[in-house]
Amino acid sequence: MTEPMYMRISEDLRRQIETKELRPGEQLPTELELRQQYDASRNTIRDAIKLLIGNGLVETRPGQGTYVVEKMDPFVTTLSADPGTGAPGGDGGAYLSEVSEQNREAFSSPPQVGIQKAVGLISARLRIPEGTNVISRHQQRFIDGTPWSMQTSFFPMDFVTRGAARLIGADDIQEGMAQYLADALGLKQVGYRDWITVRVPNSAEADFLKIPMDGRVPVFELLRVAFDESGTPLRVTVTIFPTDRNQFIVNVGDVPPPLSLPKEDDQERTG
Amino acid sequence: MTEPMYMRISEDLRRQIETKELRPGEQLPTELELRQQYDASRNTIRDAIKLLIGNGLVETRPGQGTYVVEKMDPFVTTLSADPGTGAPGGDGGAYLSEVSEQNREAFSSPPQVGIQKAVGLISARLRIPEGTNVISRHQQRFIDGTPWSMQTSFFPMDFVTRGAARLIGADDIQEGMAQYLADALGLKQVGYRDWITVRVPNSAEADFLKIPMDGRVPVFELLRVAFDESGTPLRVTVTIFPTDRNQFIVNVGDVPPPLSLPKEDDQERTG
DNA sequence: GCAAATTTGTTCGTATGTATT
DNA sequence: CAATACATACGAACAAATTTG
C-alpha cells in the first residue's frame, strides 16, 4: 500500500510496454479508458503517464492520444575521439559524417549569425570581459526529419577583424570550424573540455525539439570550450539535446569498437 | 496569453531566485501564500514549482516548506583522465581522492556483495551468456553527508575461482578495482567506455537519493565497461547520479586546468 | 471548408494522507 | 497531541489540437 497509485499504474504500463504487450507505435488506451481500467481519476492517470514520458517510453500527441514510442534508435554522440585525429563528435564539423555512419539522414539549418555582448557564463569561459562583443552562430539540427539538437557557438569578435571573415557569414563552414580557424588565423585547436549538465527546457527549446514544455522531458546542455596550444579558449559551444532520444559515449584509453548500436533500454534495477 | 500560467509563475520565481531576491536557503512562500499572490490554484502553483525543482533551484521538504537550494557546489565528475595514468573519475577507486580535492568529505558505504544471474544489458555488455552467474558489488556514496550516487559493479563469476577472492568480500578494495584485478589475475585494464543516459528514478533510487519519486528530478545512468588488452570486458559498472547535483566533464586532448569550480548555474538562453 | 467528436493540456476546487515542528 | 506544509487523489470544466463525417 505504501507505493502511490500513480506509480503502480506507471509500472504496470511499463511492464506491458517492455514485454511488447503494447507494441512500439501502438496507441495506449485513452486517459478516459485508463481511468476506468485502473479505477483512478484522470489526474492520477496523467501522473502515471508523466513517468513513462520521462523514461522515453511513450509520447503524447494532443488531439490524438498517447503512443508507445517507435524504437527510434537513440542518437549516440561520442564525446571523445582519437586525440589529434578527426574532429570530435557532437561538434559542428563531425556532425554530418557521424550521423551518416549510423545510416541516418542528417540535416543542419543554415547558421543564424549574430553579434551580442558576452555575459556571465560565456564571457567567463571565453575569458573575455563582460560586455565584450562576441559572434554567435546558431544552428538547428535534424536526423531523419526529427529535431535533434540546437547549437550555438560563440567566438571573440576580433577573430573577424583578424581575418576569419566567414565567421559572420550565414554559410556552413564545411571543412569544420577547427580547420577553418587554423587556416584563417593560424589558431591550432589542441583539445577541448565538455561540461555536461541536465535541466528542464525553456519554451523556445521545447518548441523546436517538440517536447512538452512542462519539464517532463529534460535536456542535456553540453558546453564545449575548445583551446589552442597556449591554453587560450578559441570558442564556446552550447548544444541542447533532449534526453529522450540522445545518449553520450566517452571512450578512454584503448577500447574495442562497439559490437552494435545499443538496442535495449532496459532499466536494470541497480538498487 | 499563450504561455501557460504555471510557466509564467515559474519564470517569475526563477527571476527572484537568480537575482537573489530570494536568497539561497531561504524559504519560499508556502503553496497557500503563493496561491494568493498569483491568484492561482494550488495545483497550478505546484506545477510551477515542479519546473524549479527540475532546474535544481528549489527543493521541497514535506512538513516544512519549499526552499531555495543552498548553492551546494555541484559535484563534477571527470570521465576522461590522462590515459594510462591515474584511475578515472567516477570509478570506485578514484572517488575518494577526487572528492577530497574539492575540499569535500566523502563517504562510501561498505559494499553489499551478491551473486545474481546476468540478464539483458549486463550479460550483453560483459559478453557472457544470459543466466550466467555474476558477482555484484553495490555501494552508496555520500559527500558532506548528502547522498550522492549509487553504484553497482558486475564481474564474471570465474574471476573469484581464478583467484580474485576479495571480490566476494564485503570490504572496500582500497587500491582500486583496476589495480586489484591486475594483481590478483594479471588482467590489465587499458581503457573503458562510458555510456551516459538520463531517465527518471525508480523508487529505490528516489528513496536513497532523497529526491521526489514522481520524476521531477531525473537521474544520470552512467554505464562503464572496462576492457583489458585483448578487448575483453572486465567489468560493468552502473552508477546513478541525481541530475540536480551532479555534472560531468570530459577532457579531450590538451586542455588547461579549470580556472575554478563552476559557481554559476546561469541558464543562458541559447535559442 | 466546416462542424462535430475525440483526446490531451491547463486550471480550478476539495479532501485526505504523511512528515515535520 | 496539535498545527503546519507538502504529497496524493478525487472530480469538474474549459481550451487547444487533431481527426472524422
**pLDDT per position as a tens digit, B122-150:** 888 889 888 899 999 999 988 877 888 99
pLDDT of A151 reads 93
In the predicted structure, residue B228 carries a pLDDT above the cut 80: yes
User: Picking from A7-16, B43-52, B63-72, which range would have the lowest pLDDT averaged per residue?
Assistant: B63-72
Side chain identity at residue B124, one-letter code: A
Q: Residue A85 and residue B202: Cα distance in Å, rounded?
A: 41
- CA B16 to chain A, closest CA, distance in angstroms equals 17
Contacts of A146 (CB under 8 A, 6+ apart): A72, A210, A245
Could you please report the per-residue DSSP string of A61-112? ETTTEEEEPP--PPEEEE----TTSSPPTTSHHHHHHHHHHTT--EEEPPPE
The answer as to CATH 3.40.1410.10 being correct for domain A75-253 is: yes
- Domain locations along chain A: 5-68, 75-253
- Whether the per-residue pLDDT at B57 is higher than 70: the answer is yes
Q: Do A258 and B208 touch (CB under 8 A)?
A: no
Total-model pTM: 0.84
Packing angle of the helix pair B92-101, B177-185 (nearest 10 deg): 140
- The answer to whether B11 CB sits below 7 Å from nucleic acid chain C is no
CA angle A131, A136, A138 (to 5 degrees): 145
Cβ pair A60, A30 in contact under 8 A: no
Considering CB atoms only, which of B50, B191, B213 is closest to A7?
A: B213
A5-68: CATH topology is Arc Repressor Mutant, subunit A (1.10.10)
Distances, alpha carbon A153 to alpha carbons A42, A66, B159, in Å: 44, 36, 48
> Which residues lie across from A251 on neighbouring strands?
B193
In DSSP notation, B7-29 reads HHHHHHHHHHHHTTSS-TTPBPP
**DSSP three-state, residue A120:** helix
The rounded average pLDDT for each run of 10 residues, N- to C-terminus, in chain A (271 residues) is 83 92 91 91 92 89 90 72 43 47 72 87 87 91 85 91 86 81 85 89 85 85 90 91 88 74 40 35
The nucleotides of chain C lying under 7 Å from a protein CB are 5-15, 17-21
Predicted confidence band of residue B100 (pLDDT cuts 50, 70, 90): very low
Q: What percent of chain B has pLDDT over 90?
A: 17
Write the residue in B124, B198, B256 that is nearest to A227 by C-beta: B256
